[in-house]
Amino acid sequence: MEQKAKTARQRARAEITAEILQAARTRLTQAGPGELSLRAVARDVGMVSSAVYRYFPSRDDLLTALLIEAYDELGAAAEAADDAVADRDDAAARWLATCRATRTWAVEHPHDYALLYGSPVTGYAAPRDTIVPATRVIVRLVEIVMAAVAAGAIEPGTSDDEPHPFDPSVRGAVEAIRDLGGPSATEAPAELVGRTLMAWSTIFGTISFELWGHLVGSVSDHEEFFDGVAARLWTDLGLS
């Protein structure tokens, strides 16, 4: 099925599809996802609006394609930042680098970030294709945490002594981490998994608050504040 020798039409189709995506991406840098006009991107690529429907059945499908692209770009940026840390055993440094890269990408691509993590458009359910790229950042964060655990940093207490244990509620995440099949085949402790999810929520919350303007007047230097948050998140994980 996958012919290497593509016909001219197939090549043209792939090129035009990419061209439309690129135009839509450019438009996204100037306006939010809700304002993305299919007719406008059609004009940008020199086509009539109805012609675009040959490539994307609807505006939502265009958004889905953009969604996947943006998720992958963010994931790649986060992973690259982690990979760039020289000392692979310094889990804290890796954590901070990955968190920072996430915020940096968000600040540089606010509308793409809004597309990924903003309030979803009504009636639009993200299809299956998006869930894998969507988890790249959190997966990498989990890998860093698990690497620290494998290196001997065992958390002291379990979740059982807490009045609100994470144990039953994060079972899905625990199983997902087991399925990841890292170097340590040991079960990830629920408390640590819950703490990691909590940290991820904090990262998202801090970035979104900054971008949506909810910290205006309270926080002056957002980068510095974020670094402080990320550092405390690591210590709060309860490792070592």
Separation between Cα atoms, residue 214 and residue 231, nearest integer Å: 21
23 binds DNA (CB under 7 A): no
Separation between Cα atoms, residue 5 and residue 3, nearest integer Å: 5
Partner touching 194 among DNA, a copy of itself, none, CB below 5 to 8 Å by kind: a copy of itself
- Name the region of 181 (left: φ>0; alpha: ψ -120 to 50; beta: rest): left
Compute how many residues bind a copy of itself; rule: CB under 8 A.
60
Written as six digits, the tokens of 31 are 């306006």
Partner touching 20 among a copy of itself, DNA, none, CB below 5 to 8 Å by kind: none
Burial group, residue 196, by CB count within 10 angstroms (0-12, 13-18, 19+): buried
Partner touching 157 among a copy of itself, DNA, none, CB below 5 to 8 Å by kind: none
Separation between Cα atoms, residue 205 and residue 128, nearest integer Å: 24
Q: Which of 40, 107, 126, 153 binds a copy of itself (CB under 8 A)?
A: 126
Residue 189's closest CA among 157, 148, 144, 147? 157
Is the Cβ–Cβ distance between 146 and 97 less than 8 Å?
Answer: no
Binding residues for a copy of itself restricted to 188-227, rule: CB under 8 A: 194-195, 197-198, 201-206, 208-209, 212-215, 217-222, 224-225, 227
36 binds DNA (CB under 7 A): yes
Binding residues for DNA restricted to 58-97, rule: CB under 7 A: 58-60
Is the Cβ–Cβ distance between 144 and 153 less than 8 Å?
Answer: no
Is the alpha carbon torsion for 104, 110, 195, 180 positive or negative? negative
46 binds DNA (CB under 7 A): yes
Shortest CB 12 distance to DNA, Å:
7
26 binds a copy of itself (CB under 8 A): no
Which residues of the chain form contacts with DNA (CB under 7 A)?
A: 7-10, 12-13, 16, 36-40, 46-51, 53-55, 57-60
Residues at the interface with a copy of itself (CB under 8 A): 31-35, 114, 117-123, 126, 131, 134, 159, 162-166, 168-173, 176, 194-195, 197-198, 201-206, 208-209, 212-215, 217-222, 224-225, 227-232, 236
